[in-house]
Amino acid sequence: MTGTRKTTPYRKPGFWRRLRTGNLSDGQLGALFLLPALLTLAAVMLYPMLTVLWQSLHFNRLNQPFRGTPFIGLENFRRMLWGEGLTWNLSHLLWLRLIGLALLAPLIWVVRRRWLSPLSGIVLAVALLLLSLYVLGFRPGPDGRWTDGRFWNSFSITMVILVSSVVGSFVVGLPLALLANVASRLRWLGRVALLLPWAMPRVFAGLTFAWLFQNQYGVINDVLRHLGFQGPLWLARVTPAIAAVNMTIVWKTSSFVGLILLAGLQSIDASLYEAAVVDGANAWQRFWRITLPLLRPSIAVALIFRTLTAIQTFDIPFAMTRGGPGRSLETLGVYIYNSTLALNIGYAAALSVVLFVISLTVTLVYLRWIYSE
Amino acid sequence: MNRMTRILLALAFAALLATGAAQVNLKVFIGGQQRPDVIGPLLDKFNAENPDIHATFEVGGATSDVQQQYLSTVLTSKSSAIDVMLIDVVRPAQYAASGWAEPLDSYFASPDAQKTYLASFLPGPVNADTVNGKLYAIPAFTDAQFLYYRKDLLDKYGLKPPKTWAELKSDALTVMKGENNPRLQGFNYQGAAIEGTNCTFLEALWTAGGNWRDANGNITIDTPAGKQALGWYNQTLSSGITIPDIASVGTDDSRKMFQAGDVVFMLNWGYAWAHFQSDADSAVKGKVGVAPLPAFQGHQSATCVGGWQWAMNPYSAHKQDAFKLMQFLASEDSERTLAVKASNIPARKALYKDPAVLEAAPQYADFYDVIINARPRPVTPLYPDVSDLIRTTMNAFFARSLSADQALKKMQTGLQDILSQ
Amino acid sequence: MTGAARRSTQRRAGYVFVRLGLLLMILDGIFPAVWLVLTSFKSENELTRIPITYLPQHPILHNYLDVFTQNPFARFLLNSAVVSIVATLICVLFASLAGYALARLRLRGRRALLTAIVMTSMFPALVMLVPLYRLFVGVEVPGLSQLMAYLHAMGWSFLPTRVMTPNLLNTYWALIIPYVALSLPITTLILTSFFQLIPEDLESAATVDGATRLGALARVVVPLSAPGMVTAGIIAFVNSWNEFLLALTFNTATNMRTVPVGITLYQGEFAFPWAVISAAVTLGIVPLVVLILAFQQRIISGLTAGGVKG
């Protein structure tokens, strides 16, 4: 007997059955996996972020409650970014502006080489251009002034710290990571050296270095004295203070960069190097052709977060000099802190929004770079 | 629902009923540096005397700024988590304006009762606590900046504590030349961008006969008095009696340098004395003298008032009980305990003649002459902006980024801008 | 010199150069920490002596004693440990899932999601403090609260009129939840980039072998991304351990304080006792470093043990 069994048409197993056997579609699996992270972030961060955005559009001085908290739109931003009597003054800081313009050339090259899509290139160019309005010479004329010169001061010192500490942390961090990856019995010591600066809380790192940089009781000037030099008055003069704070930040963050790069190095397959040696490549070529390209994702991650934290720098300049001789080390983070302490909440929120916009622009460009392949 | 759930619900219900016999819970906020170990027993005593109130304390961060940070978060959220708080002497005006401190006038039996009560306190702190005629806080303990000097060194050269700044400079130079010690500093003060640097400037200004603002409300910083004040500081740096990196010197840095025996004259707060006399490794034990600040020729000495005050949270749920607690904490007995056990300088006049206090801290008799002339820093709700401007400008001045004239001009125009908002 | 001899000299020179570089880098990283440790054995007076002393002249252990007697430091360590460990575990778990989804699965708006995740770390914590505080003191749950009010008015008066989130202040969760949120962006980004590195064929090979999608994930992907996971874990752990602002504001009871806030309790208003504070900071860092080093090797080998390499 051939027995035609009654066959039911095939029905796709239900969601829960598929979950149990692990056979969900991409979209569903993706949604499921992303849910915990997104939920946590939304629950904790959404309300505060929206509150800050909302507050930046209002006037809010806690020590002047009789003035209420009226909606003032973009007035906070106008006060921050604009001024009176602004004119073009092309000769101001000419050298800096020429450098800025010169940076546009490699940008064009990078876009032509398809490393950045034209869209990102345009975004970056516009951002650079807007940034360099200050640098390009659109500034208060002889009778004019910025409404908030303090903002531009904090902006420029933030940019200085951004560039020098990001570059510095990579210059120090990459060799550190390479050395900590070397097959040697002292490797654990290298890993400790990588970990210790990162493990110290930022405030105490700042305070410790403030003490190390002290003129009478500090180690650094003592060592310099033994070597026959008269050390500068580190934290008591503007330029040495900026140098000292940058050095501290680089010290602290190069270990962060080093850690991430080390992880990237560890996941590079050793057989690739062996094959390269067989092919006759020397150490430099191995580094340039194998290590660096494979490290690109790690470099990108470290770059993004280094930049984000560099823009928000607060703890170390504050702990070392409370904002520097005068206001010379009052970064955006310190300015926001001072505004909050002065109970000018609306303005502090507006400053945070500007910080956010700068960070977002930079991140968008970086992220496009990671996903460009 | 199952059995377990039913039992739990019943227990919860019973617990809810049990808390009906309300014991009032009061929370006192103090900073980490205000000796919780001394205030704790005070609260226990209060709880024993008032069985229907239970007061406990909460310890915050160790510095004025950190505590301010926390308190502003709590008070902005209109939380009733705290009932009584200990605030810095520069805060009452801001708190009054922000609505963060409850005005206390209505809690006294009568305006006369209030006047008599306040008369027993030192005038400086009370003035700082009174904003627009209303009282917002009760002084807990006070502080001021003193001129500390090396008694032994001055005696060696037959010098007396200086009465004018010029005398101080010549005395310092005499000692420095005589001792021939390259580490010895003639005159040390605070030049870092900290709150205390406001006092560094204001004291020089006051002792030159000036003030930051006159009776009509005009800013009077860029004036001959101001020029004299900053001119004096220029002299300290150019004559070498002050170290060139004074712009990085904070309160405790000064104290440590003096304690190591490297300084002849120093401006600092009252806390330093206890360290000089009691720290195991103090190199200056028994060699320290205290005097009022010198002044410019023909003017009066002056100093900055410091110290902390008890204030009430306007969102507290138990204000009458909180006021009772505040009066207890500010009573003569409590303040005596604070003076004897916690080395806090008393805010009550009577305690300066109290035998128990004088036995524990005989230097308070000397302190009295200084403290009675202590003046408050600018009493305005915009004090944070004012303080920020003055201390950063002075810091830039000490870092030689601004000349004296530039600094004075900056402070003058800056303060005019701030106060015109 | 023959080619071989030259190459061997080069190799030896390179060897020495590497060793020297290693030494310098190690010194640079370790020196301030070593300085702190040395300071913790000195007495206060020695710190302001000129010429400065490097090694303590009369080493004392008193500072460490003071650390534990002046404040309940052991309790601070426990609080920090609990909060950091739990936050790290949760964070790495969530970040791994999210990272895998963003790296592998073909989702629409991948880049936008990643940007959104990273966006949450672009605001300074200071300005978000008051809203976060309100959130953890207890806020009304939007839809549910109105529903309860409506039902209450309808006559079901045993229902509460509002539904509030619980007051989480002075609990471990008050810190764990924000710390997870604070470390999620960086850990997600690290893990995304690590998962991207793993060739897809390995996973498909495993699936062909009969494993389910999730099984392939566990057996192939996780071991290969071990360095990334460990790094993400270290970063989340250290971030949570060293976080100051939220710990200061949310957990104010002395027995709930974490280590960074606890260390500031040794300060006086003006006085900064470096010797005791160095001891406290040393005690705060040492368990951290020891823990991480001890577990790093273990975790990597543990994760790679079940894996298929190559």
C228: domain CATH number? 1.10.3720.10
pLDDT band at B118, cuts 50/70/90?
A: very high
Q: What is the pLDDT of residue C216?
A: 65
B328 pLDDT band, cuts 50/70/90, is very high
Cβ neighbors of A153 (< 8 A, separation 6 or more) are A327, A328, A330
- Inter-CA distances, A160 with A67, A137, A168, A241, A313, Å: 37, 18, 12, 13, 11
Q: What is the structure's pLDDT at B6? A: 65
Kindly state whether residues B101 and B227 are assigned to the same domain: no
Q: Cβ of B106: how many Cβ atoms within 10 Å?
A: 11
Touching A (3+ Cβ pairs <8 A), the chains are B, C
Same domain, B100 and B120: yes
Task: Give the closest-approach CA distance of A99 to chain B in angstroms.
Answer: 27
Residue A225 has pLDDT above 60, yes or no: yes
Q: Show residues of chain C in contact with A201, CB under 8 Å.
A: 242, 244, 260, 263, 281, 284
Residue C124 at interface with chain A, using a CB cutoff of 8 Å:
yes
* Mutation site, A76, A198, A249, A370, interface C, largest C CB count within 10 A: A198
**pLDDT confidence band for B167 (50 / 70 / 90):** very high
Distance (Å) of CA A213 to CA A80, A229, A237, B73, C43: 34, 15, 12, 34, 20
This complex has an ipTM of: 0.87
For residue C253, the model assigns a pLDDT of 85
Using CB atoms within 10 Å of the CB of residue C300, give its burial: 0 to 12 exposed, 13 to 18 middle, 19+ buried.
middle
Domain of C131, in residue numbers: 69-305
3-state helix, strand, coil in chain A (%, to 5): 70, 5, 25
How do residues B226-249 score in pLDDT, each as one tens digit? 999 999 999 999 999 999 999 999
Chains that touch B (3 or more CB pairs under 8 A): A, C
Distance CA C251, CA C238 (A): 19
How far, rounded to the nearest angstrom, does the alpha carbon of residue C42 sit from its chain's CA centroid? 31
- Mean of all residue pLDDT scores within chain A: 82
Give, in order, the Cα–Cα distances in Å from B207 to each of B300, B302, B366, B370. Answer: 6, 6, 20, 13
CB contact under 8 A, B384 and A325: no
Percent of chain A surpassing pLDDT 90: 29
Residue window 55-74, chain B: list those with CB within 8 Å of chain A: 65, 68-69, 72
Residues B128 and B49 in one domain: yes
Percent of chain C predicted with pLDDT > 70: 87
pLDDT at C51: 66
CA closest to C39 among chain A residues: A208
User: Which range of residues forms the domain containing residue B268?
Assistant: 144-304+378-419
Who has greater pLDDT, A138 or B389? B389
Per residue, the 3-state secondary structure of chain B, as one string, reads CCHHHHHHHHHHHHHHHHCCCCCEEEEEEECCCCCHHHHHHHHHHHHHHCCCEEEEEEECCCCHHHHHHHHHHHHHCCCCCCCEEEEECCCHHHHHHHCCCCCCHHHCCCHHHHHHHHHCECHHHHHHHEECCEECCEEEEEEEEEEEEEHHHHHHCCCCCCCEHHHHHHHHHHHHHHHCCCCCEEEECCCCCCCHHHHHHHHHHHCCCCCCECCCCCECCCCHHHHHHHHHHHHHHHCCCCCCCHHHCCHHHHHHHHHCCCEEEEEEECHHHHHHHHCCCCCCCCCEEEECCCECCCCCCCEEEEEEEEEECCCCCCHHHHHHHHHHHCCHHHHHHHHHHHCCEECEHHHHHCHHHHHHCCHHHHHHHHHCCEECCCCCCCHHHHHHHHHHHHHHHHCCCCCHHHHHHHHHHHHHHHHCC
Residue C79 has pLDDT above 90, yes or no: yes
CA angle B320, B324, B328 (to 5 degrees): 165
Sign of the alpha-carbon dihedral angle for A6, A12, A17, A22: positive
Residue listed under structure tokens 């970990």: A195
Strand partners, B311: B85
> According to the model, what pLDDT value does residue B289 have?
92
pLDDT on residue A234: 92
Round to whole Å and give the CA distance between B371 and B139.
14
Q: What are phi and psi of B208, to 5 degrees?
A: -100, 10
Do B46 and B148 lie in a common domain? no
Q: Tell me the pLDDT tens digit for each residue of A95-104.
A: 766 776 676 6
Is the predicted pLDDT of residue A373 greater than 50, yes or no? no
Residue pair C160/C152 in contact (Cβ under 8 Å)? The answer is: yes
Name which of A49-63, A138-152, B30-44 the model is least confident about: A138-152
Residue % of chain C over a pLDDT of 90: 20
**Is C266 in Cβ contact with B62 (below 8 Å)?**
yes
- Across chain B, what does the average pLDDT equal? 89
Give residue C199's pLDDT. 77
Residue B158 reports pLDDT greater than 90: yes
The pLDDT of residue A305 is above 50: yes
Question: Residues with Cβ < 8 Å from C215, sequence gap 6 or more?
Answer: A22, C206
- pLDDT of C221 reads 76
Please state the length of chain B.
Answer: 421
Question: Which one of C49, C249, C270 has the shortest CB-CB distance to B70?
Answer: C249
Residue C120 lies in a domain: yes
- Closest Cα partner for B245 from A235, A326, A212? A235
How many domains does the structure of chain B reveal?
Answer: 2
- Residues of C with CB below 8 A from B38's CB? none
For β-strands B303-312 and B138-150, DSSP reports them as antiparallel
Question: In angstroms, rounded to a whole number, what is the distance separating the alpha carbons of residues C80 and C260?
Answer: 9
Q: Which pLDDT value is given to residue B21?
A: 46
Sorted by sequence, the CB contacts under 8 Å of residue A249 that are 6+ apart come out as: A161, A165, A168, A169, A310, A313, A316
Residue whose C-alpha is closest to residue A195's, from A251, A247, A255: A255
DSSP state of A43: I
Q: How far is B352 from chain C (nearest CA, A)?
A: 24
Side-chain-side CA neighbours of residue C219 (13 Å): 15
Q: Are A199 and A192 in contact (CB under 8 A)?
A: no
User: Each residue of A227-257: pLDDT tens digit?
Assistant: 888 889 999 999 999 999 999 999 999 989 9
The closest CB to that of A322, out of B97, B194, B381, belongs to B194
Question: Does C13 map to a domain?
Answer: no
In a domain, C81, yes or no: yes
What average pLDDT score do residues B364-381 get?
88
Q: What are phi and psi of A85, to 5 degrees?
A: 65, 40
CB contact under 8 A, B392 and A323: yes
DSSP state of A287: I
Tokens, residue A176: 């550190």
How high is the pLDDT of residue B249?
93
8 Å CB contact between A153 and A323:
no
Q: Do the Cβ atoms of A238 and B192 come within 8 Å? A: no
Q: How many angstroms separate the CA atoms of A160 and C115, rounded? A: 25
Identify which of B77, B81, B260 has the shortest CB distance to residue C48: B260
Q: Which residues contact B134 (CB under 8 A, 6 or more apart)?
A: B96, B103, B104, B105
- Which of B93-102, B258-267, B334-343, C182-191 shows the lowest per-residue confidence on average (mean pLDDT)? B334-343
Both tokens of B217, joined, read 């409300």
If one counts the domains in chain C, the total is: 1
Q: Does C50 touch chain B (CB under 8 A)?
A: yes
Q: Which residues contact A85 (CB under 8 A, 6 or more apart)?
A: A140, A141, A142, A143, A144, A145
Q: How confident is the model at residue C308 (pLDDT cuts 50, 70, 90)?
A: very low
DSSP A10: P
Shared domain for B159 and B46, answered yes or no, is no
Residues in contact with B174: Cβ distance below 8 Å, sequence separation at least 6, in sequence order: B157, B159
C-alpha torsion A245→A202→A216→B392, nearest 10: 60
Convert the pLDDT of each residue in B402-411 to its tens digit. Answer: 999 999 999 9
Q: How many CB atoms lie within 10 A of CB A283?
A: 15
Q: Pairing state of beta strands B84-88 and B53-59?
A: unpaired
pLDDT attached to residue A370: 61
Q: B336 and B279 share a domain? A: no
Identify the three-state secondary structure at position C98: helix
Q: What is the DSSP letter of A139?
A: E
pLDDT at A195 over 80: yes
Average pLDDT over residues C241-268: 88
CATH number at residue B210: 3.40.190.10
CB of C10 within 8 Å of a chain B CB? The answer is: no
- A217 chain-C contacts, CB cut-off 8 A: 47-50, 52
Average pLDDT for A144-160: 89
B42/B84 same-domain check? yes
Q: Does C78 touch chain A (CB under 8 A)?
A: no
Summarize pLDDT for C7-31 with one digit per residue, the tens: 677 677 777 777 777 777 777 788 8
Judge: B257–C45 Cβ closer than 8 Å, yes or no: no
Asked if residue C51 has a cis previous peptide bond (ω within 30° of 0), the answer is yes
Q: Is B254 on the interface with A (CB under 8 A)?
A: no
For B161-182, b where at least 16 C-beta lie within 10 A, e where not — what string?
A: bbebbeebbbbbbbbbeeeeee
Contact call for residues B329 and B35 (beta carbons, < 8 A): no
Question: What mean pLDDT is predicted for residues B198-218?
Answer: 93
Contacts of A196 in chain C (CB under 8 A): 29-30, 33, 285, 289
Q: Does C150 touch chain B (CB under 8 A)?
A: no
Tell me the angle at which helices A202-212 and C274-305 cross, rounded to the nearest 10 degrees.
130
pTM, to two decimals: 0.88
Q: Does C181 touch chain B (CB under 8 A)?
A: no
d(CA B85, CA B27): 8
Does position C291 have pLDDT exceeding 50, yes or no? yes
Half-sphere exposure of A338 (CA within 13 A, CB side): 27
Q: Tell me whether residue C211 is in a domain.
A: yes
- The first and second tokens of residue A77, run together, are 């931003």
Which residues of chain A are within 8 Å of residue C49 when distances are taken between CB atoms? Answer: 217
